[in-house]
Amino acid sequence: MNTGTFSIILPAVILIVGAFLVYLFSRFFRLRNRLIAILTVLILTATLVSLVMLYLQVPEFYHSPNNFFGLSEPGGIIYRPNALGVFILIVAIIIGIMITLYSAEYLSRDPRFVTYYPLILLTLAGLMGMFMSTNLFNLFLLTELTTITASALVAFRFQQEIAIKAGFKYLIMSSLGTMTMLLGIYFVYRSTGSMHLDQALAQSDSFTRIGAACFLLGFSLKAGIVPLHTWVPDVYGHAPSAVSGLLAGVLSKSMLFILPVISLRLGMTRGELGGYLMLFACFNMLVGSVRMLKQSLYRRFLSFSSIAQTGYLMFGLGMGYYFDLDQAFTASVFLFLVIAVMKCLAFLSAGMYQFYSGSQDIDGLRGIGRLMPGTAFSFSVALGGLAGIPLLAGFTGKWLIFSVALVTGDRFAILCLVVFMISTLISLGGYLPTLVKQYQDPSPEVKELLTRSPRAFRVSHWMLVPVDVLSLLVIVMGVYPTPWINLAENIIRWMLI
């Protein structure tokens, strides 16, 4: 065992040990919700520090391939970090900190908060292992960990029948994806006699290619790629808003970055992978943007928006693999960061509306800006960014994708770009009216709320702080995107894609 690189698994160890400690301390000392949230934030902060230190060491790992943690003997498990994976995990932990702070108030009415925070930590730990593991069966187990814990989070409010249905739907659909991956492991092992990715790459044949197809299908389902997207609106629409922000912003989108690593090493060509991503990106963009227009509930509206955002990200990654363009990978990494922040901000803002007004209807938002002006501003920033309004982060991300597509000069890319533009224009018909409704004449429901004491609608600082931080990030990344784009370029430069 290479004990000299224990820092590789240190972040995961902190999360797993922290999850058990949080649960035990909460039960033994009967801690209140806010104290548990603070303890969880401290654990996530320690994890973030260890990840940043690991990120600074990543160039050394590329120069010394023997830097890993685990057993290199047959049957052993190896964890090896890479720049892109560590960056995505840093983003995931930052989002985790935001939703944990938010949940300190958001879960104040829920008596089962003791189990909520350990589930958040274990979900992030599973995701962390998925990015670092080079053993296919271990990857399968870690994927199951994220599936089970995320399903429990979706169905967290089990008193509501709709929450139970959403949790079961996520569990069943995600389990179908992981079972498909298990079938892929069988084909790979039959061909190579090993489940280690490096060894599978050296002996690629028809069986490993079938295994690659199984993993492609499994991760496509978990990412919500059309036509395997049917679980997305029910899950995102009925899970707690903080959980939806984590799933839509980070968990599902990160599957698009794990998928290529497995598929390419098992024999799929870059052209095949790129063509697949670009083709199905068109379906995601169109289905997401068109279906969102018909939604009357704003959280289902945001759910279909997530499907379209997945398509934008797939388009960028597909161009990177199909045309072997580093600019496309850079644009995709930047867009992932932007989507993670904007989707989390959108769901957290929507959760604040539901928490204080009790309404989930888009028409019920009319005039709510008078009641909750700060929340209205944050929700407007999120919707404006998702719509691609200039000077917000979403515009910069879409502009980078647009520029790369023009650079290729290829008919296939231009055709996908046309779909990209059509989808963007259609989605404006959903984002802008929803944004404007907040500042129109109040609806009867909002008028009734306005007659009550304004003190009842003073939003808690536990909710305001993370939402304000995310709003600021959307604005800063839009007005001054250069440092963030340079960061994405450095990550791609380090990657051996």
**135-179 pLDDT per residue, tens:** 888 889 999 999 999 999 998 887 778 888 988 999 999 889 999
pLDDT digits (tens, 9 = 90+) for 453-465: 555 567 888 999 9
Q: What angle do CA 166, 170, 171 make, to 5 degrees?
A: 115
In the chain, the amino acid numbered 362 is I
DSSP label at 78? E
Q: What is the pTM of this model?
A: 0.93
Burial of 497 (0-12, 13-18, 19+ CB in 10 A): middle
Compute the average pLDDT of residues 217-230: 91
Please give the pLDDT value at position 191.
82
Compute the average pLDDT of residues 324-342: 93
206-223 and 270-292 helices cross at what angle (nearest 10)? Answer: 20
- Measured in residues, the chain has a length of 497
Percent of the chain predicted with pLDDT > 70: 93
384 contacts 392 by C-beta, under 8 angstroms: yes
Please give the pLDDT value at position 28.
87
Helix (H, G, I), strand (E, B) or coil at 297: strand
Q: How far is CA 377 from CA 222, 246, 350, 373, in A?
A: 32, 21, 12, 6
Burial of 457 (0-12, 13-18, 19+ CB in 10 A): middle
- Cβ atoms < 10 Å from Cβ of 25: 15
Asked if residue 4 has pLDDT above 60, the reply is: no
Compute the average pLDDT of residues 254-269: 88
